[in-house]
Structure 1
């Protein structure tokens, strides 16, 4: 499976997501061709912490999955949910927000 190369200039959208007591800034980048979601950046409220590192790594892994043509809907379905069906992690909340905003992926 080959990773999709993204153009140097591509569209993006920035928004905020609340998960638990924290607010995160999220930027989602398109692939430049059909505006499909191809990359995710998540900025946490606690710079320099293990939480921030884990959140950034989760965004990188999500981006890599998207660039290898895993549909955002598949990622959304696979992530852990709580007893009420809500995302159990910040990456789950971010992916759910992307899907709710109408984001799609290339795959």
Structure 2
């Protein structure tokens, strides 16, 4: 989540889910083939046990939550943060012994 800490949260102060958690959910879902807000919400609901190793949430966000976030998120700030995350992930996967990253 530290890679995405500089991404401004465009949501209201009373948002239920942390921005970083939503981003983790979307990235994980995307890596598993999800491509839209409805699929992100379904993934967060169905894979809660697996995601709980990374983040903690009581109820999965709705597709409306993901859709609203995607409309409001600053694409340039997110792009910079994601590029830094992807570069670090690539470095880590090169440094991990073969078979260490699924």
* TM-score, structure 1 normalization: 0.30
Query: Which structure's residues are more often strand, by fraction?
Result: 1
Q: Which has the larger radius of gyration?
A: 2
Query: Which structure's residues are more often helix, by fraction?
Result: 2
Which structure ranks higher in relative contact order (CA pairs < 8 Å, sequence separation ≥ 6)? 2
* TM-score, structure 2 normalization: 0.31
